[in-house]
Structure 1
Amino acid sequence: MLDWFAKLVSYAGFSNHLNQLSEAFRSFTTSSFEDFLPPGSFPNQSLLDSMPIITCSGKRNGKVAKNLTDKGYCSTKSLYYYGAKLQTLAFRRLDKIPFPEEIQITPATVNDLTVFKEA
């Protein structure tokens, strides 16, 4: 079926193009979150949380996405791991899941409190 899609770039080329669009995705999602703030949200109260994205256990050497991942510790799971963190800053809502204000993927060693102080 390659002749049907002759103008497709290689997978590496596609990944490179997608990575170049990361700032555009960030701007789009930030403006979307601001424009569609649901009723009942507290825009002056934010919650911060993170979760690990584990690419391999801490006993091994990380081989995936070396420029984004490193070795970190997850205190809630009591384990060392190679990977990244999904960091979320969200507006508080009563009796509902918080509404995302900003979402970032950072290396595993980045502290939760320092991530959003830069913004």
Structure 2
Amino acid sequence: MHEYAEDHFPGWFPDLPSYAGYVRRLNRLSAVFAPLTQAAVAEIGSEEVVETLRIADSFPAGMAKEKRSTQAKVAPEIADKGYCSSKDTFYYGVKLHVVAQQRPGTMPIPSRVGLSAGSENDLTTLRQVLPFLQDGQLYGDKAYVDSSLRERLSEEQSLELLTPPKKSKGQERLSAAEKLFSEAAGRARQPIESLFNWIEEKTGIQEASKVRSSEGLMVHAFGRLAAAMLLLALNP
């Protein structure tokens, strides 16, 4: 952004600071970007939203990968070493957690967004927002499997937590019915994967190797997410 403004709009920004000064100014505004993300989401057309059909998932934003993930020490109060199962790799950084509402035929809209350390379990983070979700269905992957939680949500909140079945201890393969349900749950979750891929394509949010502070990490995560949501609002 700094380079683009410097190259193309010098007349608009005659007092543009150095890159380091620009970054310091952004970092001082780090607390602004989470509510900006919320405001941007509110601008996305919601006429076709199915409020009772939700999907939960997370994606990583890494400051260091593989071997370097053990030595990394930036923003230790927010970030730590985690594992990304979809890429089968360790990283040092954070996770962005999203609960999104389904929109038939297009990408879902985030309704809840949170940030955690890379090592935090997805279900642990989801539990923080579950009291605010009522009625309908909530799809997730195997990280969200918890039979006792599923029963409680169904009884107390009329909320179905639907996840692919896990094999029981000693079970070699899933039954035909379990395989069919697993495939159906995977198809229901696909829209949030499309949303994550689109956000990464537009913003490069998962690559945070240039972050050097906690404030910078917040700017990186929520600044880019806010930009993505504004794009989604302006180009539905």
Partner residue of 1:108? 118
Return the offset for 1:62: 1.1
Counterpart-to-counterpart distance in 1, 2:48 and 2:23: 44
Q: 1:115 to 1:37 in 2, by over 3 A?
A: farther
- Counterpart position of 2:87: 77
Q: Which amino acid aligns with 1:59?
A: K
Amino acid at match of 1:63: K
- Root-mean-square deviation over aligned CA pairs: 2.9
Secondary structure of the 2:75 match is coil
Q: Which residue of 2 aligns with 1:87?
A: 97
Percent identity of paired positions between Structure 1 and Structure 2: 30
Look up the equivalent residue of 2:28 and give its one-letter code: H
Per-residue deviation at 1:17? 3.2
Structure 1 residues 36 and 11 mapped into 2: Cα distance closer, same or farther (>3 Å)? closer
Residues 56-110 of structure 1: per-residue CA shift (max 9 Å, x gap): 1231211322221100111111111111112111101112111111222211011
2:146 corresponding residue in structure 1: none
Unaligned 5+ residue runs, structure 2? Answer: 1-13, 16-20, 130-236
- Aligned residue pairs total 114
Residue deviations 1:16-47 (CA, integer Å, cap 9, x gap): 6324xx3x654554466457551111112211
* Matching of residues 28-39 of structure 1 within 5 Å: 29-30=37-38, 33=41, 38-39=46-47
2:76 corresponds to: 66
Contact 1:58 1:71 in 2 (8 A): no
> 1:29, 1:54 → 2: CA distance?
20
Letter of the 2:55 counterpart: L
Q: Is the 8 A contact 1:37 1:99 kept in 2?
A: no
TM-score of the pair, normalised by structure 2? 0.40
Aligned residue for 1:98, secondary structure, equals: strand
2:25 corresponds to 1:17: no
Instruction: Pick the structure with greater CA Rg.
Output: 2
Letter in 2 for 1:111: N
Question: Hey, which of these two has a bigger chunk of helix by percent?
Answer: 2
In structure 2, the residue corresponding to 1:97 is in which secondary structure? strand
Q: Is the 8 A contact 1:70 1:107 kept in 2?
A: yes
The TM-score normalised by the length of structure 1 is 0.72
Q: Distance in 2 between matches of 1:90 and 1:73?
A: 23
* Corresponding residue of 2:58: 50
Q: Which has the higher strand share?
A: 1
| Alpha-carbon distance in structure 1 between the residues aligned to 2:123 and 2:97 | 10
